[in-house]
């Protein structure tokens, strides 16, 4: 028999209240309520153009000006207006309660750190810093003129945000640390990710194999929902997280 939403929420809260080594895996969906549209699915910014077409390293290498104008400047603009939402602050509260150890995020928006979270693995890098394609020197955005894009490094090569694009590898140290955390966690909260981008999507599988309880928060069913998730909570990250955290706090005090 299918469990009711409140029964699932109680099950998730109980697992979190007992956890000591929780890990969260987050994706674009956790920042939707902050006004940052995901690449997949509905979202004003990307309705006319397909960001996936621009998010591959080959596109950047072949046509840097266009990728800069469409993708990087588009992201810069929405990030300027964005602030953490109840999804981000909820994960910070779980860290304060000693439930959550680390957040592994696929996002490049820095909102977990702004919400206060102390240990955030930026699996796909960060949009907050620029890096030279030639000599790898890093720049702050303020140091760089955007009068023409792509901006150039002192060495003559062009700059790009320090993010991992499709077709590029994940930093091996971050990957290994994430895999170790996934294998050692007691609860994994998977929030706002379609779990289709590898190798991040494999982390819940590692956690599950090693006995962790997988709690998933997403308004839509995903690849994980039926076979990997122990507790699927259907709903928006902010709303669900608020209810979950309030209940975990009650159970922890009891
Ligand atoms: P994705 O494939 O993980 O898809 C987004 C997921 O969020 C979907 O499963 C969707 O159902 C879910 N979602 C939508 N609204 C939600 C809400 N309110 N609460 C919880 N979940 C919600 O990610 P993508 O958009 O295809 O992005 C591909 C890559 O680009 C990823 O690495 C992603 O992190 C990155 N990206 C990052 C940002 C950011 O930094 N905020 C934004 C867009 C894309
Ligand atoms: Zn350079």
What is the Cα–Cα distance from 149 to 157, expressed in whole angstroms? 12
Strand spans (E) along the chain? 22-26, 100-105, 120-122, 125-132, 138-140, 159-163, 187-191, 213-218, 231-234
Of 40, 60, 61, 69, nearest to 52 by C-alpha is 40
- Nearest-10 Cα torsion for 83, 88, 90, 91: -150
Regarding the beta carbon of 162 and ligand 1, being less than 6 Å apart is answered no
What is the Cα–Cα distance from 104 to 85, expressed in whole angstroms? 17
Q: What is the DSSP letter of 134?
A: T
Kindly give the pairing relationship between strand 22-26 and strand 187-191.
parallel
Mutate which of 31, 32, 34, 39 for ligand 1? The one with the most ligand atoms within 8 Å of its CB, which is: 39
pLDDT at 1 (0 to 100): 62
pLDDT at 44 (0 to 100): 60
The atom number, within ligand 1, closest to the CA of 123 reads 32
Assess whether 226 carries a catalytic annotation. Answer: no
Q: Which residues of the chain have pLDDT under 70?
A: 1, 41-45
Write down the pTM of the prediction: 0.96
Q: Which residues pair with 25 in a beta bridge?
A: 104, 190
Helices (H), 72-193: 73-81, 86-96, 111-115, 172-184
pLDDT at 43 (0 to 100): 61
pLDDT at 51 (0 to 100): 80
Regarding the beta carbon of 168 and ligand 1, being less than 6 Å apart is answered no
pLDDT at 202 (0 to 100): 97
pLDDT (tens digit per residue) in 40-89: 766 666 777 788 889 999 999 999 999 999 999 999 999 999 999 999 99
Regarding the beta carbon of 117 and ligand 1, being less than 6 Å apart is answered no
Mutate which of 24, 25, 26, 29 for ligand 1? The one with the most ligand atoms within 8 Å of its CB, which is: 29
pLDDT at 139 (0 to 100): 98
């Amino acid at each position: 028999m299918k469990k009711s939403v409140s029964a699932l929420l109680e099950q998730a809260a109980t697992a979190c209240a007992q956890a000591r080594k929780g890990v969260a895996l987050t994706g674009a969906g956790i920042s939707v309520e902050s006004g940052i549209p995901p690449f997949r699915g509905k979202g004003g910014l990307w309705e006319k153009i397909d960001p996936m077409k621009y998010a591959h390293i080959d596109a950047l290498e072949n046509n840097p000006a266009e990728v800069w104008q469409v993708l990087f400047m588009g992201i810069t603009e929405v990030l300027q207006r964005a602030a953490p939402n109840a999804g981000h602050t909820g994960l910070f509260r779980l860290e304060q309660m000693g439930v959550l150890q680390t957040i592994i995020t696929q996002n490049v928006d820095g909102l977990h750190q702004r919400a206060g979270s102390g240990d955030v693995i930026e699996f796909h890098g960060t949009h907050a810093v620029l890096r030279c394609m030639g000599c790898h020197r890093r720049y702050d955005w303020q140091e760089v003129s955007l009068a023409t894009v792509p901006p150039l490094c002192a060495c003559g090569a062009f700059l790009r945000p320090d993010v991992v694009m499709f077709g590029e590898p994940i930093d091996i140290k971050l990957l290994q640390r994430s895999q170790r955390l996934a294998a050692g966690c007691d609860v994994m909260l998977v929030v706002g990710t379609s779990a289709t981008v590898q190798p991040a999507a494999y982390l819940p599988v590692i956690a599950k194999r090693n006995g962790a309880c997988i709690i998933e928060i997403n308004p839509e069913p995903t690849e994980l929902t039926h076979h990997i998730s122990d507790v699927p909570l259907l709903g928006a990250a902010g709303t669900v997280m608020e209810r979950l955290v309030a209940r975990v706090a009650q159970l922890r005090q009891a």
